[in-house]
Structure 1
Amino acid sequence: MGSLWLRLDARICALGRSVTKNIDYTLRVLLMVYLSMRAAVLDQAQGFRTIVSVISAQIYFTGWQALPLISVMALATGSVLVLQSMANLSLLGGTQMIGNFLIVMVVREAGPLLVALVVIARSGTAVASEIGNMRANREIEALESMGINPLSFIVFPRVLGGVISVLCLAFYFNVLALIGGFFLTKFLQDMPFTFYLDSLMRGFAQEDLLIFLAKNSFSGMIIFVVSCYQGLSVKKSPHEVPQVTTQAVVNSVIYVVVFNLTVTALFYLNQLQRLGVV
C-alpha cells in the first residue's frame, strides 16, 4: 500500500513539474512579446527604415514564396469540401445550407490551421535556425555591442511581418478554396455559380470576420514569437540549432492547435448560451 502511494505521489509531482514548466515557458514567451514591442517603440538605434526593410523581407519569404504551396492546398481542400458538401446536402435536400457549411469548414476551421502549419514548416523552422546560428556565431553580441537591441531589430520585425503574412495567406487560401474549388469541380456538379456565391454570402456572418482575424493574427504571432524565442535560447554551440528548431516546430504546433480549439470552443459555447441551451 505504501509503495502505491509513493508511485502516485511521484506521478503527481511529475505532473506538477510539467505544468509549472509549461506555464513558465508561456510567461517567458509573452514577456518577450512585450519587451520586443517596447524596444521597437523606444529604441531608435537601428532606424525606422531598417526595421521596415526587415519586415518587408519577412513578408516576402513568409508570404509571397509560400503562395504556390498554399495554392495547391487551397484548391485541394476546397475541391474536396465542395464535392462532399454538394453530394451530401443534395441527398438531404439542404443545398441552401452549402454556404454555411463551407464558411464553417474553410474560413473558421481548416483555413487557419492549414495556413499555420504551412508557415510553421517553412518559416518557423527558418527563423529559429537563422536566429540560432546568429546566436552561435556571436552576431547578436555584435549587434548589442553596437547599441542595437536584438528584440527591436530581430524579433519585432519578424513577428510583425509574420502576422501580416499569415493574415494575407489565410485570406488568399479562403478565396481560392471557396471559388477555385467550385470551378475545379464544375464538371461534376451542375449548381449555378450565382446560386453558390449567394449561398456563401448568406452564410458569412460578422462572427466569421472576428474569428478569422483572431485565429490568424494570433497564430502568426505565436509561430514567430516561439521561433524567435527558441532561436535566442541557443547558448554557444551550433549543434544546438537543430534541437531548438525542432522544439520551435513542436511548441508552435501545440500552441496554435490549442489556441484554435479554445477560440472554437468559446465561440460555440457563446452560441449555445444565446440559444439558452447552456
Structure 2
Amino acid sequence: MTFLFSQIDSLGRFVTKNLEYTVRVLLMAYVSLRATILDRAQGFRQIVGVISAQIYFTGWQALPLVTVLSLAVGSILILQALSNLTLLGGTQMIGSFLIIMVVREAGPLLVALVVIARSGTAVASEIGNMRANREIEALESMGINPLSFIVFPRVLGGVISVLCLSFYFNFVALFGGFWVTRLIQEMPFAFYSDSLMRGFAKEDFLMFLLKNSFSGMIIFVVSCYQGLSVKKSPHEVPQVTTQAVVNSIIFVVIFNLVVTALFYLNQLRSLGVV
C-alpha cells in the first residue's frame, strides 16, 4: 500500500507540474499576441522580416527532408494497402485507408517531429543564447518588447510553415508514393485518384487545420518559453534546448491523441455505438 500511495503521489505531482507549465506557456502566448497588437516600437516591417526568415528556415529549407520522408511513408502505406486489401477484396477502400493514415494521423505527427528536431531546437538555442548574451535586455532598453519582436513572429512563422509542410507532405505521400509504387505493382491512376476523392471528407480538412496549426503553435511557444527561461549562463542553453524538444514531443503527441480520440468517439456516438 505504501508503494501504491507513493506512486499516486508522484503522479499527482507530475500532473500538477505539467498543468502549471501549460498555464505559463499559454500565458506567454497570450501576452506576446497582446504585445504585438499594442506595441509599435519595433515596426510592422521588422516583424514581417522575422516571420519571413522563420518561414524560410522552418518551411523551405526542410523540404528535402520532408520530401524523402513523405515518399517513403506514402510508398510503404500504398504497398501495404494494396497487398492486404487485395487479399480481402476491398481495393475500393484504399483511398479511405490512405486519407486516414496520411492526412489524419501520420502526416501531422511526422511533420511535427521533423519541425521539432530542426526548428524547435534552433529557436530554443537561439533565444537562449540571446538571453545569456544580454541581447534581450538590450532590446528592452531600446523600448522593444521581446515578446512581440522575438516570440510572436517565430510562433506565427512556425504555424504557417507547419501548415505548408503538412500540405506538401500529404501531396507527395499520396501522389509521389503512387508513382513510386507503380514501379513495383501496376494500378490505374484513374482508379486511385477516384478512390482518394471518394475517401476525402470535410472532417479530414478540419482535422488537418486543427492538428497542424495547434501543433505548430505548441512547438514554437514551448521552444520560445524554454529559450527565455535561460538565466545568465550559456551552459544552460543545451539543457533548455533538450527540455524544449521533450516538452514539445509530449504536448504534440498528447494533443494529437486527444483530437483523434474525440473525433472517433463522436463518430461512434453518431452511429449509436456509444
Question: Residue 185 of structure 1: CA displacement?
Answer: 1.0
Matched, 1:267 2:263: yes
Going from structure 1 to structure 2, the CA distance change for 1:48 and 1:82 (only over 3 Å counts) comes to: same
> Which residue is equivalent to 2:244?
248
> Which residue is equivalent to 1:198?
194
Quick one: which of 132, 136, 140 aligns to 1:136? 132
> Which residue is equivalent to 2:116?
120
Matched, 1:61 2:68: no
Q: 1 CA distance for matches of 2:173 and 2:248? A: 25
Question: Residue 10 of structure 1: CA displacement?
Answer: 3.9
Which amino acid is 2:113 matched to? Answer: L
Question: Residue 166 of structure 1: CA displacement?
Answer: 0.1
> Which residue is equivalent to 1:41?
37
5+ long unaligned stretches in structure 2: none
Instruction: Give the TM-score normalised by structure 1.
Output: 0.97
Which amino acid is 2:24 matched to? Answer: R
> Which residue is equivalent to 2:143?
147
> Which residue is equivalent to 1:160?
156
Question: Taking every aligned residue pair, what percent have the same amino acid on both sides?
Answer: 80
Quick one: which of 3, 12, 15 aligns to 1:16? 12
Q: 2 CA distance for matches of 1:118 and 1:72? A: 12
Q: 2 CA distance for matches of 1:8 and 1:195? A: 57
Matched, 1:101 2:97: yes
Q: 2 CA distance for matches of 1:104 and 1:54? A: 35
Q: 2 CA distance for matches of 1:12 and 1:172? A: 44
5+ long unaligned stretches in structure 1: none
Quick one: which of 163, 175, 179 aligns to 2:175? 179
Question: Residue 18 of structure 1: CA displacement?
Answer: 1.8
* Number of residue equivalences: 274
Matched, 1:51 2:47: yes
Q: 2 CA distance for matches of 1:77 and 1:137? A: 42
Question: Residue 16 of structure 1: CA displacement?
Answer: 2.2
